[in-house]
Structure 1
Amino acid sequence: MTYGDRLRRWVVVRLLPKMQRVDVARFYHCSDAEGYVQVLRQLDPEHQYEVMFDPGEPEGDRSEE
């Protein structure tokens, strides 16, 4: 995960079959992500979009090189 991604913790995802998802956009603020989802739902009502918080990698799981 890049430094920029670690700062942008709110992720808009498109839900796919079989519990899969595709990241669409990342935001600094939850309210910005929710506004983006509202627009996506109006433009593309056939798909399901959700806002998720991405906690990132736990400190112990990072590989040290």
Structure 2
Amino acid sequence: MTTPSQWRKSSFSGGGEGNDCVEIANRHTRVAVRDSKAPARATLSFPPTTFAAFIEDLKTRR
């Protein structure tokens, strides 16, 4: 998978440099996810509907 050019961190990524989080990037047909502490390592990708369902589930578990 090619590396997405526009990575975003969560607003809940912690203090300091905000490196205690994952980053996401929207692709044409996938959502890419990587560890902000190790951006050169493996990247996961998910269909947008699957990723959206995952996020909604996280929100309801708060």
Q: TM-score band (shorter)?
A: 0.3 to 0.5
Which structure is higher in helix share? 1
Larger radius of gyration: 1
Q: Which has the higher contact order (CA 8 A, sep 6+)?
A: 1
Which structure is higher in strand share? 1
TM-score between the two structures when normalised by the length of structure 1: 0.34
TM-score between the two structures when normalised by the length of structure 2: 0.35
